[in-house]
A and B are shown apart, each in its own frame.
Chain A
Amino acid sequence: MSSGDDDGQRDPSVAPNAVLVPQGADAAVLQLTGSWRLSFLERITTQLSPLKLPPKVIVDGSKIAEIDSAGALALLEYLESAGESRAQMMGFAQNELRIVEQVLKRLDSARAPTAHHSERIVEMIGRRGIEVGHGVIGDVNFLGATVAGLAHGVLRPHSLRVRELAVQFEQVCLNAIPVVALVTLLIGVVFTYLLGLQAEQFGANIFVVDGVGIGMTREFAPIIVAVIVAGRSGAAFTAQLGAMKLTEETDAIRTLGLSPMDVLVLPRVIALMVAMPLLVFIGDLMSLSGAIVVADSMLDVTPTTFIARLRDGLDISHPLVGLAKAPVFALVIAVIGCRMGMSVERDTRAVGMATTSTVVQSIVSVILLDAAFAVFFQELGI
């Protein structure tokens, strides 16, 4: 019982062994040696499985170096499945016996089969369908509540939280300008280049100006800005509100007699609805700037000619249609972002899933809305 040889006890080189010593016709002693530890489980099973146990077995643990509960489990599992659950234990040290007994007590629980619920495809489709349905209903509900809140805010402007609004505006508009400017500039360049390749073949260089002007200001700038905003601000809304939900901050807001709608949602929605048209306008300017550069170097359309042609060819209605769509896109993105954030349950994984869902929902909604707008304006003849 000295503590001097302590390192030897943990020595991983003492591999476990099990030897069956027959004692007459129908009895045997199962002699265990070595270290019956978790790290040797593989060896333990290969040692035990080939043994043919007689009806009566005595397990001798007197030569065992040590045993832990994983080793004990492997031993007892084996005895149990060999029908030897009542095998007698002898020679174990006091603390080893305690470990074996602890495991024996819990053996039933450890052997309990797992009820695996495998989902069939029809069930999966049905469940998904219901989830999507609930999602849409939730979005519409939230949209209604937000619009009601907006109306309330318009009627009583002093109830709006100006400071919160300013903070949000800085984040969703001012901080977004560099990325919006860069992306729309490049799209303007690429779009002009592709149009120019075709138009050059017909000597119709100057009409590239019409194409770029209408295409960018009416369709591309709003859509591209909306996609950037969905990925940037929509996702941020969900993550911010979701994290606040996790830490019960939204509940705290409620118990303080404030409404999360007024404090959290409306400032974000209003800020984004104001910011989006501005960002789209910047997008218009930047994409046309890109177009001017390419047109000058590739199509021999000088900047002066470009701008003069733009005045004739680009009716003011096109940029206005593009700018008019922006606040609608903003409303949808902000509502989806806030609603997904507010619907997060107390579960860290849910924040990530909600954020992903926000981006997907926002982009799909924006494209669908844009298609609807196209039909709508077509019918109006704008």
Chain B
Amino acid sequence: MKERSDTVLEVDSVVTRFGEQTVHNGVSFTLQRGTLTALIGGSGTGKSVLLREIIGLQRPTDGRICLLGTDVWRDSEDQLNAMRRRFGMMFQDGALFSSMTVAQNVAVPLLEHSRVPPDLLDPLVKLRLAQAGLGPDAAEKMPSELSGGMRKRAAIARALALEPEVVFLDEPTSGLDPTTARAFDQLVRSLVDDLDITVFLVTHDLDTLLTVVDRIIVLHGGKVLADGTIDQILQSDNEWIKSYFSVRTMIEPHDEPVS
């Protein structure tokens, strides 16, 4: 009874050009509900650009992007705004509003887009922080007082504020130490397993890819080069994919991925 529509995101032959330079040359894939999908690719292959196009920040040259049943670049601004409440985005550096405390940052979407009873606002903000792995003592801190890892957690808490169906993460573990990064992986996994959220992330972190991700989409040469589970990707005999994962296999032979 509780199954919902399976396709959350549909990217259809997206083309992006900056002047003479073609970044995407017909990128297509779909995203299933309840999965944790990673987008990988070398620097400059337009991962972040694609992410910005999906969430409606940057217009692709051509192609269609359909997120949560809304055509991001053709539907009206009202439809887009309604859709924006159904996904959350964590920017690479957190993009917390620096003039507000962490609690106020998390409260922004709640106050703007929902009618939370005043008594419940504070517990709800604290719950979001706890869901992102932050204690209640972080609530009154300013973003400038937080470490990189805490800033990312606070950003996740803000992205989760409205109970989104999809969360987009731009390099969630970049700049974190390995311990914090692995804890972050578990956090991201629990969003999918415990909160039924679909997660789409851009990453370079091989540990994230090998441990918590359900599916990997490889962006290379302006197209989707490969798309599948980590095992399928590792078995690919494409040169680029081989070299991408070779660093890892040099250090330790690849173990059975934890599923």
Pair B4/A10 contact, Cβ less than 8 Å:
yes
Stretch of B127-135, B173-181, B212-220, B242-250 lying at the A interface: B127-135
Pair A109/B126 contact, Cβ less than 8 Å:
yes
Pair A41/B115 contact, Cβ less than 8 Å:
yes
Pair B163/A98 contact, Cβ less than 8 Å:
no
Pair A114/B98 contact, Cβ less than 8 Å:
no
* Residues A38 and B114 in contact in the complex (CB < 8 Å), given A73-B127, A110-B127: yes
Within 8 A of A (CB), among B66-111: 98-99, 103
Q: Is B119 on the interface with A (CB-CB < 8 A)? A: yes
Q: Is A69 on the interface with B (CB-CB < 8 A)? A: yes
Pair A38/B163 contact, Cβ less than 8 Å:
yes
State how many angstroms separate the Cβ of A50 from the closest Cβ of chain B: 14
B contact residues around A109 at 8 Å (CB): 126-127, 129-130, 135-136
A contact residues around B196 at 8 Å (CB): 95, 99
In which size bucket is the chain B interface? 35 or more
Pair B163/A114 contact, Cβ less than 8 Å:
no
Q: Is A321 on the interface with B (CB-CB < 8 A)? A: no
Which of A68, A111, A349 has a CB less than 8 Å from the CB of B163? A68
Stretch of A125-133, A135-143, A340-348 lying at the B interface: A340-348
Pair B144/A74 contact, Cβ less than 8 Å:
no
* Max chain A C-beta neighbours (<10 A), residue from B99, B117, B127, B143: B127
Q: Is A7 on the interface with B (CB-CB < 8 A)? A: yes
Pair A37/B123 contact, Cβ less than 8 Å:
no
State how many angstroms separate the Cβ of A348 from the closest Cβ of chain B: 5
How far apart sit A114 and B131, CA to CA, in the bound complex (Å)? 18
Pair A45/B163 contact, Cβ less than 8 Å:
no
A contact residues around B99 at 8 Å (CB): 349
Q: Is B195 on the interface with A (CB-CB < 8 A)? A: yes
* Residues A70 and B4 in contact in the complex (CB < 8 Å), given A109-B135, A114-B136: no
How far apart sit A29 and B60, CA to CA, in the bound complex (Å)? 54
Q: Is A382 on the interface with B (CB-CB < 8 A)? A: no
How far apart sit A3 and B34, CA to CA, in the bound complex (Å)? 13
A contact residues around B142 at 8 Å (CB): 347
How far apart sit A5 and B4, CA to CA, in the bound complex (Å)? 7
State how many angstroms separate the Cβ of A106 from the closest Cβ of chain B: 4
Which of B3, B117, B124, B144 has a CB less than 8 Å from the CB of A3? B3
How far apart sit A6 and B5, CA to CA, in the bound complex (Å)? 5
A contact residues around B131 at 8 Å (CB): 69, 102, 106
Which of A68, A69, A345 has a CB less than 8 Å from the CB of B144? A345
